[in-house]
Chains A and B, each alone.
Chain A
Amino acid sequence: MSESKIIDACDTYCPGPLMELITYMKQANVGDTLELLSTDEGSAADVPEWIHKVGHEVVSNEKVEGVWHIKVRKAK
């Protein structure tokens, strides 16, 4: 069964949020959803770029009260 996990990378700067996401992506199973929380504006654009490049799936990317919520599904 696929799982969902929240990774809080608020208050860290590029490429901290990406590195945190990758650490958890390595441990996740295919089909799992991870939600990255980040206050870094650069990462809000950069993390989805990485997700596309390596072949995972961006489920959603939205800013809620100053925090970016980037949901990604592990595709492979």
Chain B
Amino acid sequence: MSRKIYIICVSGTREKLQMAAMIASVAAATGDEVSVFLSMNALPYFVQGHAVDAPAEGELGALMAQKGVPPFKQLFKYAVELSDAALLPCSMAMDLMRITKDELDPEVGPPTGLTRFLSDAEGGQLLTF
């Protein structure tokens, strides 16, 4: 039976985005249902045309920049392709940034409020990065 995994991304650092994307893609690859809530400093990376290089928080982040680690956005895309994972932009963060859904990457889903996300996540596994 597939599990339901809910991931909240708030950090804009390379390590946290990478870990969230790794979990999303591997969980999706094993048939889990995955929903990712993109808010705070994580959301700008999903705006079309925004730089995709997230700053490293420490040693591992710096190493990842030099090695052949799959980019976090590619891993999130895999998750969407493999099991229809939902990448849900936080409506509050979108309001603050004054952006619309059309300005986000095509694989990003509908603007979602925190209340709705938490309500959907009830009983599932919730991870925050």
| Tally of contacts, chain A with chain B, CB under 8 A | 36
Q: How far is the CB of B20 from chain A (nearest CB, A)?
A: 13
CB closest residue in chain A, given B63: A13
Number of interface residues of B (CB under 8 A): 14
Q: Is A75 an interface residue (CB 8 A)?
A: no
A-B contact pairs, 5 of them (CB 8 A): A11-B68, A12-B70, A19-B78, A53-B30, A54-B31
Q: Is B10 an interface residue (CB 8 A)?
A: no
Select B70's contact among A16, A22, A50, A54, beta carbons within 8 Å. A16
> Knowing A19-B70, A22-B82 touch, does A14 contact B30 (C-beta < 8 A)?
no
Q: Which residues from chain B contact A14 at a C-beta distance below 8 Å?
A: 22
By a beta-carbon cutoff of 8 Å, the part of chain A in contact with chain B is: 11-16, 18-19, 22, 50, 53-54
Q: Is B67 an interface residue (CB 8 A)?
A: yes
**Distance between Cα atoms of A16 and B29 in the complex (Å):** 12
Q: Which residues from chain A contact B40 at a C-beta distance below 8 Å?
A: none
Interface of B is mostly: helix
Q: Which residues from chain B contact A53 at a C-beta distance below 8 Å?
A: 30
Known: A18-B26, A54-B29. 11 other contacts (CB 8 A): A11-B68, A12-B68, A13-B67, A13-B69, A15-B22, A15-B25, A15-B29, A16-B70, A19-B25, A19-B75, A53-B30
CB closest residue in chain A, given B77: A19
Tell whether, in the assembled complex, residue B69 and residue A16 are in contact, meaning their CB atoms are under 8 Å apart: yes
Q: Which residues from chain B contact A22 at a C-beta distance below 8 Å?
A: 29, 78, 82
Tell whether, in the assembled complex, residue B68 and residue A54 are in contact, meaning their CB atoms are under 8 Å apart: no
Q: Which residues from chain B contact A12 at a C-beta distance below 8 Å?
A: 68-70
Q: How far is the CB of A66 from chain B (nearest CB, A)?
A: 15
> Knowing A19-B75, A19-B78, A22-B82 touch, does A13 contact B29 (C-beta < 8 A)?
no
Select B68's contact among A16, A19, A50, beta carbons within 8 Å. A16
Give 10 closest A-B pairs by Cβ, nearest first. A12-B68, A16-B70, A13-B69, A11-B68, A19-B78, A15-B26, A53-B30, A22-B29, A15-B22, A15-B25
